[in-house]
Amino acid sequence: MAVHYDASRRLFHLQTNDTSYAMCIVQGGYLAHLYWGARVRGLGPDRFFAFQPLVSFSPATVPEVPGLSLDVLPQEYPGYGTSDFRHPAYQVRFADGSTASELVYAGHRIVPGKPKLPGLPATYVESDDEAETLEITMRDPARDLEIVLSYTVFEKWNAIARSARIVNTGKQPIEVLRALSMSVDFPHDRYDLLQLSGAWARERYVHRRPLVPGMQAVESRRGASSHVQNPFVALLAKDADEDRGDVYGVSLVYSGNFTAGVEVDQFHSPRLFIGINPFDFGWRLEPGESFQTPEAVLVYSSEGLGGMSRKYHDLYRSRLCRGVHRDRERPVLMNNWEATYFNFNAEKIEAIARTAAELGIELFVLDDGWFGRRDSDNSSLGDWVVDRRKLPDGLDALARRINGLGLKFGLWFEPEMVSPDSELYRRHPDWCLHIEGRRRTEARQQLVLDLSREDVQDYIVKAVSDVLSSAPIAYVKWDMNRNMTEIGSALLPPERQRETAHRYMLGLYRVLERITTAFPHVLFESCSGGGGRFDPGMLYYMPQTWTSDNTDAISRLKIQYGTSIVYPVSAMGAHVSAVPNHQVGRVTPLETRGHVALSGNFGYELDLTKFTDAEKEIVKAQVGLYKEIRRLVQFGDFYRLLSPFEGNAAAWMFVSKDKREAFVVYVEMLKQPYAPKDRFRLKGLDPDLDYELDGDGIVYGGDELMNIGLPVPQFRGDFGSRAYRLRAR
């Protein structure tokens, strides 16, 4: 059992294999947070959890209960305006215009497994014994409002998924102004806040900063989770590092505007939260209607950031990602984008594909430019009809010819967008997000289709499905290349305009559900100008994401390292591209580009026909190596060894679940003249096993490799790299 309820003390204790999370109903019916951290057997004397008594300026929330004030009580899902002055988890405007609210316990139920979240991506169970769900019903004693708090406890995965459902139980409409997915109050603030922030081409850099009194948060107002911030934050104990110490992660299964952060109050108590961004958000609930928040996934680790990451990896890889490709080895692909951009024809594509096939590559992906009259990014989004000028025999013939070479065929789409210069826009100028009487701001010469509309959803499903049914297409790259402006929908009444951005996400999820269900054999990869929507919401529909448009191996060290904080390696697309690199102009060795790319879902994105024979031999060897190690890379345990944010080198390794096999990559950035002899230590091996290094007959103990380490390799020139294979004897 993962959920325990002690009726005499009105206390809930949620337990995973190594985590405990506890709360209790205190006098007045409030739901107080007690504990989140390493697993404990039971929750001893009540005095253990003595709460801060009310202090000067704290309102006496319940006159009959001296000392109790919501101002200082640690809570599970706090409101505002009834004596807690901190940021609330929810806020509602009632029919009388008032927004104050509080919640008291009304009941609970414990159910096996995990109920689905209607219309939203979420973690799931494959059988009811994998998790247990606690639903606590809370009511506002003064208004017709009910909120059901849901906690699913994944015992084996050591994670708790939280969400809330807000129900209008009255006879008047109400407006939800704020509906976060979780909130937890911690007893002290000796933590740092970790976030993943960046920009296009430098996504998810790791930032760590000490908590200070007041608000510290990251958020997106871009209509997508974004390149700039990722829907995740963690609290790290001051002494926590990659391998040791308490870490508390919260990750939101959502792809739109979000907020995530901490408010540290007057008693240095941090309130950690994550959810839909209340900024520019509103949701009208008619009588009897409810609003379901996305879910937040909470992971505690006593084994530092690395331990937290591996828990997220395991859960997201196996109980968030879905479909037949979830557990299958992913193909080595060749993408023509950086090879040709828009400038290609059937002969060119086939020539690249032929070379790719000769070198062992398994999938050819035709990127942007195959439809409408798309010779640049100026036109044609929305017109998903093959361009016969470039591909005179059509997609089916091309795909079959590529299949004939021994490659599967994949195709790029950007279905959520419309070019003003397109047949679709000329036919349906009101199908994009817009506000009457305002400019429609373009980005990359395109507008965002209004996916809150059912007719638009139907159009996209049909347009994409028609293409997918017309040819043997085994893979889809689903791109999205701008953020939202003038967020308004022609079909929504004024009082619902602030619902548009969230309705868009629900519409997108509906479209993705329909298409991925109709084409279960297709491997879908999500993309948004690289990693502009690399989030758990998209991973539910598509088990992999194009990590970044920046394909430079050295830039990728930080991008992939930061991405791995939450996301499994099987989710990260990584390609070898040409030098000088198209994004940063850097020239790196082909070996290093290979080592970095084969640490993800491996592929190439360059014109292989221009390679020399010697370079082709290297590619062939890389592809061959990847095929041998990809199960380990994609589904093994990932350990970060050296951080590119902290030094001149980066290193990481993959260890098989049975610890009998490992693959290690070490990359040096700039060559250090006359460098001191140094070592780097491995992790995650079995100390009692002996490992043979690179099949050369020399054997090292797992204990030696983890405690003494390997000598740092020496390189000639900048950007050197070395990979190691370890196999137990």
Using the minimum distance from each CB to ligand DGJ, give the nearer residue, 257 or 481: 481
Using the minimum distance from each CB to ligand DGJ, give the nearer residue, 25 or 467: 467
In whole angstroms, how close is the CB of 481 to ligand DGJ at the nearest point?
5
Using the minimum distance from each CB to ligand DGJ, give the nearer residue, 117 or 365: 365
| Catalytic-role residue among 71, 314, 479, 637 | 479
| Part of the chain binding ligand DGJ (CB under 6 A), chosen from 89-97, 522-530, 643-651, 672-680 | 522-530
339 binds ligand DGJ (CB under 6 A): no
724 binds ligand DGJ (CB under 6 A): no
Query: What is d(CA 633, CA 501) in angstroms, rounded to the nearest whole number?
Result: 36
Q: Which of 228, 260, 527, 650 binds ligand DGJ (CB under 6 A)?
A: 527
Which x/- pattern, by CB under 6 A, does the window 340-379 give for ligand DGJ? ---------------------------xx-----------
Which residues in the 529-558 window bind ligand DGJ by CB under 6 A? 529-530, 546, 549
Question: Can you tell me which residue has the tokens 């019916």?
Answer: 29
Using the minimum distance from each CB to ligand DGJ, give the nearer residue, 271 or 575: 575
| Part of the chain binding ligand DGJ (CB under 6 A), chosen from 50-58, 199-207, 239-247, 523-531 | 523-531
Nearest to 233 by CA among 216, 257, 246: 216
Query: What is d(CA 545, CA 529) in angstroms, rounded to the nearest whole number?
Result: 11
Using the minimum distance from each CB to ligand DGJ, give the nearer residue, 549 or 661: 549
455 is catalytic: no
Q: What residues contact residue 24 under an 8 Å CB cut-off, 6+ apart?
A: 9, 10, 11, 12, 31, 32, 34, 49
Cα distance between the two ends of the chain? 39
Using the minimum distance from each CB to ligand DGJ, give the nearer residue, 193 or 381: 381
CA dihedral over 324, 327, 329, 330, signed as positive or negative: positive
Taking each helix axis from N to C end, the angle separating 553-563 and 590-597, rounded to the nearest 10 degrees, works out to 10
The count of residues interacting with ligand DGJ (CB under 6 A) is: 11
| Part of the chain binding ligand DGJ (CB under 6 A), chosen from 311-319, 447-455, 487-495, 526-534 | 526-534
479 is catalytic: yes
Nearest to 297 by CA among 154, 87, 133: 154
Length, in residues, of the chain = 729
Using the minimum distance from each CB to ligand DGJ, give the nearer residue, 168 or 548: 548
| Part of the chain binding ligand DGJ (CB under 6 A), chosen from 50-58, 137-145, 324-332, 525-533 | 525-533
Nearest to 545 by CA among 575, 520, 516, 524: 524
| Part of the chain binding ligand DGJ (CB under 6 A), chosen from 288-296, 449-457, 524-532, 592-600 | 524-532
In whole angstroms, how close is the CB of 200 to ligand DGJ at the nearest point?
9
Nearest to 283 by CA among 92, 510, 505, 485: 92
Using the minimum distance from each CB to ligand DGJ, give the nearer residue, 74 or 603: 603
In whole angstroms, how close is the CB of 320 to ligand DGJ at the nearest point?
22
> What are the tokens at 186?
């911690």
| Catalytic-role residue among 189, 246, 535, 549 | 549
Tell me the pairing of strands 258-264 and 247-252.
unpaired
Distances (CA, A) of 662 to 665, 706, 709, 724: 10, 12, 14, 8
Question: Can you tell me which residue has the tokens 């060119």?
Answer: 348
> What are the tokens at 327?
């557990």
Indicate the Cα dihedral angle 607, 612, 614, 616, nearest 10°.
Answer: 30
Nearest to 185 by CA among 110, 267, 113: 267
* Nearest residue to ligand DGJ, scored by beta-carbon proximity: 368
In whole angstroms, how close is the CB of 444 to ligand DGJ at the nearest point?
8
Distances (CA, A) of 317 to 66, 249, 322, 661: 49, 17, 8, 20
Q: Which of 132, 242, 303, 479 binds ligand DGJ (CB under 6 A)?
A: 479
Q: Which of 61, 168, 293, 481 binds ligand DGJ (CB under 6 A)?
A: 481
Using the minimum distance from each CB to ligand DGJ, give the nearer residue, 102 or 383: 383
In whole angstroms, how close is the CB of 353 to ligand DGJ at the nearest point?
17
Q: How many distinct helices (H) and strands (E) make up the chain? A: 12, 38
Residue 201: φ, ψ to 5°: 70, 0
CB atoms closer than 10 angstroms to residue 625: 17
412 binds ligand DGJ (CB under 6 A): yes
In whole angstroms, how close is the CB of 274 to ligand DGJ at the nearest point?
26
Taking each helix axis from N to C end, the angle separating 394-404 and 454-470, rounded to the nearest 10 degrees, works out to 50
Point out which residues bind ligand DGJ (CB under 6 A). 337, 367-368, 412, 479, 481, 527, 529-530, 546, 549
Residues designated as active site: 479, 549
